[in-house]
Structure 1
Amino acid sequence: MNIRKDLIQLIQICSVFSGAFMAWNLLGLICNTPSPITVVISGSMEPAFQRGDILFLYNRKQKNDELDLEIQNVGDIVVYNLDNREIPIVHRVINEYQIPGDKKKKKNQSKQYLLTKGDNNNIHDVSLYGRGKKYLNTSRDILGTVKFYIPQLGYLTIWINENPKFQKVFYAGLILMSLFE
C-alpha cells in the first residue's frame, strides 16, 4: 500500500465534499435563503410544478416606496417552512396583508403576512400553519420565492429518499467509486 497515494485520494474526496458545501452556502448567501434549491415532492402545485421538479429560490429585499421589505405579491410561488413540519412547502400566495410599523417606537418597517394555497388543492393552507396561526410571516416563515425551475431533474432525490435500502446502496456506490478512480 502506498500511504501517500491513499492520503492524496482522501484529500481529493474531502475537497469534493467541502467544495459542494461551500458552493451551497455561497448560493444561499447570494439568494438570501438557507435553502436556495428545493425539490417538489407532492402534486399540490400541479400543473405549475410536477413532482420531481427542482426549484431555485431567491429572497433578496426589494425597495418598496418608503420601506425596505421582502415583498411577495399575490400570485408569487413561495417556499415556506413551519416549526411543526420537517419538509418545506411550495404554494402560491393568494392573499397578502401588511401591518404598518409602530411610528412611536421609531420602527418604520411594516410586516407582511401571506395566505397560501396549492394550485391543485381545494382550500387554503391555514390548517397547515399550526394551531391559532392564520397567516405566514414573511420575515420568519418564507424561505424564498421561486424564480425558475428545471423539470423532473430532482426525481432521483425523491426516489432515493423513498427507498431506504437503495439509499444505502447508492451512498456505498459513491464511496466505492471515489476510492477506485
Structure 2
Amino acid sequence: MGFIGDSIESLKSINVRQSIELVITLGMIVSSALVIWKLLMCVTGCESPVVVVLTESMEPAFQRGDILFLRMGEEPIRAGEIVVFNIDGRDIPIVHRVIKVHERNDTADFDVLTKGDNNREADDRGIYAPGQEWLQRHHIMGRAVGFLPYVGYLTIIMTEKLIIKYVLFGALGLLAMTSKG
C-alpha cells in the first residue's frame, strides 16, 4: 500500500481515547512552551527575549539567520552595545549597534542613535519614524547578550516560503496522529 495509504488506514483505526490523549498531549506541549516563554520574559525583562537576525545589516558581527538572546535591565545603554528596537509604524524589530548615547541629567532617560555594522554610509536616522532623530528607552526591546549562529534560518525559510511551513507542520501532525505509543 505505500506510506500515504498506510497513514490513512492508521488514521481510521484511531479510537476516541487515543484522540483525546493526542489532544491533551498537544495541549500540554503548547502550554509548556507558553509557560517557558513567559518565564523567559520575566527573567530577561524583555517582551521578546529571543529574536532572529533577518538581514545582513549586522555582518560580520551577526549573520542572517542567527538567533539573538536579549536582556533588558535598568543599567544604562552604552555606545558599542547591540540592541533590538522597534520603530513606530513598523512591525519587525531591528538589530543594530548603538553609536551614540545622550543621557539626560534630570531623569534616568536617555536617547540613543544606532547604525548597522554593514551599513557604511549613514546612521539609522533615515529608517526612524519621520521627524525622529533618536531612539528612547520605550523603543528598545533589549540588548544582545548571546547568540546561536544560523539556527534561526528555519524561521526565515518558513516565513519566505509558506509551502515549506505547511508541509512541515502537516507532516508533524500526521506523524503525531499515526504514531502508536
Equivalent pairs counted in the alignment come to 165
Counterpart of 1:141? 139
Looking at structure 1, the residues matched to 60 and 90 of structure 2 have their Cα atoms a distance apart, in angstroms, of 24
Using structure 2 for the length normalisation, give the TM-score. Answer: 0.87
Looking at structure 1, the residues matched to 86 and 51 of structure 2 have their Cα atoms a distance apart, in angstroms, of 12
Counterpart of 1:91? 96
Counterpart of 1:66? none
Counterpart of 1:178? 176
Bigger CA drift: 146-155 or 2-11? 2-11
Looking at structure 2, the residues matched to 167 and 159 of structure 1 have their Cα atoms a distance apart, in angstroms, of 8
* SS at 1:84 equivalent: coil
Name the amino acid aligned to 1:141: H
Using structure 1 for the length normalisation, give the TM-score. Answer: 0.87
Contact 1:39 1:154 in 2 (8 A): yes
Alpha-carbon deviations, 1:57-109, whole Å to 9, x = none? 000223xxxxxxxx1100000000122211110000000001133xxxxxxx3
Unaligned runs of 5+ in 2: 1-13
Q: Percent identity?
A: 39
User: More helix by proportion, 1 or 2?
Assistant: 2
Q: Is 1:17 paired with 2:16?
A: no
* SS at 2:170 equivalent: helix
Counterpart of 2:85? 80
Contact 1:73 1:93 in 2 (8 A): yes
User: More strand by proportion, 1 or 2?
Assistant: 1
Contact 1:136 1:142 in 2 (8 A): yes
Give every structure 1 segment of 4 or more consecutive aligned residues whose post-TM-superposition deviation is greater than 2 Å. Answer: none
Counterpart of 1:118? 116
Counterpart of 1:48? 61
* SS at 2:26 equivalent: helix
* SS at 1:22 equivalent: helix
Contact 1:59 1:144 in 2 (8 A): yes
Cα RMSD of the aligned pairs, angstroms, is 1.1
Radius of gyration: which is bigger? 2
Q: Tell me how far 1:165 sits from its aligned partner.
A: 1.6
